[in-house]
Amino acid sequence: MAFVKLLLIITLLMSFGVASTLSDKYIYAKKNYVTAVLKNNKEKEVIYLKQIISYGTKLGKNVDRYKKQLQKYDKSIKTKVQKAAFKPKLKPEQKTSSYDISSVEADQNAIVINFTRDISIKDIDFVENKIKNGTQDIFDITGRFKDAAPTKLALDSIDKITILQYRYNTLRIILSHKTNPKTIYIVNQKQIIIKVLDTPKPKNIKIDKPTPKPQMLDKKDIGLITSNKVIVLDAGHGGKDAGAVGPRKRYEKHVTLGVAKYVRDELKAKGFKVYMTRSTDKFISLRYRTKYANNKNADVFVSIHANSTIKKNAHKAKGIETYFLSPARSDRAKRVAAIENQEDMNSMSYNSKNILLTLLNRSKIISSQKMAIDIQSHILYDLKKSYGKEIVDGGVREAPFWVLVGAQMPAVLIEVGYISHPEESKRIYTKTYQKKIAQGIAKGIISYFTHNP
């Protein structure tokens, strides 16, 4: 049931970008439902589900999935009322006559514990222990599981998972790891989900390290992969949102549009089908950008930006960086994300944003990471041939960019340079430099498709 709710959240979030076609009440109910789910407030979830169904039916929308979700709640509420009158109070560790945990399994970098009864937050205790070679996350769960001993679990980011019936009425799950990834647990009616937030890095791929030299492509390879590939390019900012402003009033929105147009021309010349979220100087909300890519059934989404920093660091900070969606690991990534996320991010709390970033787009992170490395390496290779040591490799990084949330395809954000730097901003404002960057981006996209057919 938890996974059904997550799918609903993703669908709702992606639909917010087209609010102009829906009634305000319908949108408001959907937003409130997402908030209620995140806060695990089941009473409000039911209230807002009923509102969604009511308003959606009047608008002629398909609300079957919300009706099914509401039916599950109705059944659960009736069951709780019936049990409340007759359920005896059990003392801690009092023996029960049956096994109330039906299954424990690993799924999508999470451990899912299914119960035959309703549970609450009181049924799970968590403690973190430091051990000689790392850390252990220990979860004590109230319940009995018949197959505790024979069950073997494995997650990519965890070195060892131990599951045992620790006491008669306590199931213990131990996650042992050297890297200490973040874990959370979600309690939902008859299910507990223990989720590992940190996504494992692919083997032989290093983050925040010098970008490897790109593999050169053969013309035959390019011809094989261009057919039916759809690419959406997103020129950051625009219109009333100028983005960062550099010396001599150099605006980020003009740089991003110039580079995006050159990338479009390069890719179209190779036979790709290319769309742009904006081709003129106009304002577009962050939510609309990935919604547009989803509607076009894009194979990849590439958002183009220019970086900036505070005035006292303007002469030092420069370089090219490519990001993919994930909770930020470094202070630098958090700072860059905070700048780019200013528009359209005020409606959600900090915790809500972080929770969503752990749930959305997880299956695309590895693909996005590979594409980011291909693009970064080709940009550097092309620019260094002309500008040499002036080009700084800022690396491939993880950051919570809101513009990438909800994309149903591999998605990256490129910072083509620091518009706050006196010299670099002058370069990235020229057509010659923008064309060189665009050639590198186009080659990186082609390389990604070639290596990941």
What is this structure's pTM?
0.51
Q: Judge if 293 and 328 occupy the same domain.
A: yes
Q: Which domain holds residue 407?
A: 219-451
Residue 211 lies in a domain: no
Q: Tell me the CA distances in angstroms from 19 to 14, 23, 109, one per residue in order.
A: 10, 7, 33
Residue 354 confidence (pLDDT): 45
Residue 399 confidence (pLDDT): 67
Q: Judge if 189 and 225 occupy the same domain.
A: no
| Number of structural domains found in the chain | 3
Residue 206 lies in a domain: no
Query: Closest Cα partner for 322 from 259, 254, 378?
Result: 378
pLDDT in tens, 89-126: 444 544 555 889 999 988 767 888 999 998 888 888 88
Residue 405 confidence (pLDDT): 65
Residue 108 confidence (pLDDT): 67
Cα–Cα dist 150/163, whole Å: 9
Tell me the backbone φ, ψ of residue 389, rounded to 5 degrees. -70, -10
Residue 334 lies in a domain: yes
CATH number, position 148: 2.60.40.3500
Q: Judge if 428 and 290 occupy the same domain.
A: yes
Using 70 as the pLDDT threshold, list the residues of the chain that sit under it. 1-23, 35, 37-40, 73-97, 108, 198-213, 215-227, 326-363, 399-406, 453
Which strands sit side by side in the sheet containing 393-399, from one edge to the other? Answer: 273-276, 230-235, 300-307, 411-418, 320-325, 393-399
Residue 12 lies in a domain: yes
DSSP state of 228: T
Residue 453 confidence (pLDDT): 67
Collapsing DSSP states into helix, strand and coil, what is residue 354?
A: helix
Residue 209 lies in a domain: no
Cα–Cα dist 99/162, whole Å: 19
Residue 291 lies in a domain: yes
Q: Judge if 68 and 107 occupy the same domain.
A: no
Q: Judge if 331 and 241 occupy the same domain.
A: yes
Residue 120 confidence (pLDDT): 85
* CA angle, 96 then 97 then 103, to 5°: 85
pLDDT in tens, 139-158: 999 999 998 888 888 887 78
Q: Judge if 447 and 371 occupy the same domain.
A: yes
Instruction: At 423, list the tokens.
Output: 């010299």
Residue 233 confidence (pLDDT): 97
CATH number, position 304: 3.40.630.40
Q: Judge if 377 and 444 occupy the same domain.
A: yes
